[in-house]
Amino acid sequence: MDDFSRPTYSELVARIEADITAKFPSGSSRLRRMVLIALARVMAGIAHGLYGFIAFAAKQIIPTTANLTYLKLWASFWGVVWKARAKAHGAAVFTGTDGSPIASGTLLQRADGVEFTTDEDGVIAGGTATIAVTASEAGADGNTAAAATLSLVSPIAGVQGTATVGAGTLSGGADDETPESLLTRLLQRVQNPPEGGADHDYERWALERPGVTRAWIYRAWLGAGTVGIAFVYDDRADIIPTEQDVADMQAYLEAPSRGPSTADIIAFAPVPDPIDPDITLTPDTESIRAAVIAELKDFLRRDAKPGGTLRLSRIGEAISIAAGEDYHTLNSPAETITAAAGHMPVLGDVTWGA
């Protein structure tokens, strides 16, 4: 059976006019000022709207064509929860005079205006105080590198006007999950039913964390009875999880509702192995260089994994599909890249050869 083709408004007008003419064969129905001609157009508009709703509804009955609202409903039916925006959190180090108090809810601001609040009371002791902080707004913008400066919005007696992000960074911030990501997780759940500790179970649990885009499972990672779970955040500038990310993932996976009690789960961040390609481009312009870098990042997102292998032909293919590239020479790397266990290739510095 062929697919149904939704009629256009003009086609519906023609059909209705033809039906009216068939009922009034004298031709009087087609006189310019006859009300039947106006009614034909009114009815065609109504029918066209109904056809439109039916076409919309037909897409919602299959998850792969549903819009986000109905995709969320499909996902919830299968126990897959849409990952909403999450706030970055971590610790900030304050300096000042011993005994100076810092109240919970103290507001800090990054140089670009992103704000954070302290989660607990603190007191300067030994010249410093390390206090938990959380981004005021949810989203990936709250993720902040270690040693970054945060300024007090309102001064506090005995406390320096700036604090620094602790060694663990501020992490965990994530934007709303995309429909594509939700659909991928839903299909994995439907096509790979839970088995109480199969590899796909661990992968599904890891991908439930906000911002996590890929995960890999390693049986007997640190010996019999252990399961290693590596994961990354492809939508961050630095895809490698921070110490706080790993701690959050570990706590999540150890919840009674997830991993089997007989398994010792070990969440870990892959060790990044930067790849520093040397490429001679023709033509060589800033826009084409940017396109090449974007394609290399996409390639690594598709192919790179801890302990995996990257073929030179695949790297060359990624460069070749960059918009504007005519031809190129990949000067380095000169051989297949094979990562050690727990190590993962990431894009380093690109050099543009002459």
Instruction: Give the pair of three-digit tokens for residue 231.
Output: 């994961």
How far from chain centre, in Å, is Cα 302? Answer: 14
pLDDT over 90 percentage in the chain? 84
For residue 320, pLDDT over 90 is answered with: yes
Read off the pLDDT of each residue in 121-127 and give the average, rounded to a whole number.
Answer: 97
CA dihedral 51, 56, 62, 67 (to 10 degrees): 170
- Beta strands (DSSP E) in the chain are 89-95, 101-102, 107-109, 115-118, 122-123, 128-135, 149-152, 162-165, 214-219, 226-232, 264-268, 271-275, 278-282, 309-310, 327-332, 337-338, 343-347, 351-352
Tell me whether residue 233 is exposed, middle or buried, using C-beta atoms within 10 angstroms of its C-beta: 0 to 12, 13 to 18, 19 or more. Answer: buried
Q: What is the pLDDT of residues 164-196, one digit of tens each?
A: 999 888 999 999 999 999 999 999 999 999 988
Residue 31's pLDDT is what? 57
Spatial separation of the C-alpha atoms in residues 33 and 299, rounded to whole Å: 65
Q: Residue 111: which residues within 8 A CB-CB, separation 6 or more?
A: 149, 151
Instruction: Compute φ and ψ for 299, nearest 5 degrees.
Output: -60, -45
Split at pLDDT 50, 70, 90, the class of 256 is: confident
Q: What is the pTM of this model?
A: 0.80
pLDDT over 70 percentage in the chain? 96
The per-residue pLDDT of the chain, averaged, comes to 92
Read off the pLDDT of each residue in 49-78 and give the average, rounded to a whole number.
Answer: 95
> Which segments of 25-167 does DSSP mark as H helices, in order?
35-60, 68-77
Phi-psi region at 172: left, alpha or beta (left = phi > 0; alpha = psi -120 to 50): left
Split at pLDDT 50, 70, 90, the class of 27 is: low
Spatial separation of the C-alpha atoms in residues 168 and 132, rounded to whole Å: 11
Split at pLDDT 50, 70, 90, the class of 226 is: very high
CA dihedral 289, 294, 297, 302 (to 10 degrees): -130
Read off the pLDDT of each residue in 260-269 and give the average, rounded to a whole number.
Answer: 88
Residue 1's pLDDT is what? 45
Q: What is the pLDDT of residues 231-251, one digit of tens each?
A: 999 999 899 999 999 999 999
Q: What is the pLDDT of residues 90-102, one digit of tens each?
A: 999 999 999 999 9
Read off the pLDDT of each residue in 64-88 and give the average, rounded to a whole number.
Answer: 96
Q: Do residues 350 and 276 lie in contact, with contact meaning Cβ atoms separated by under 8 Å? A: yes
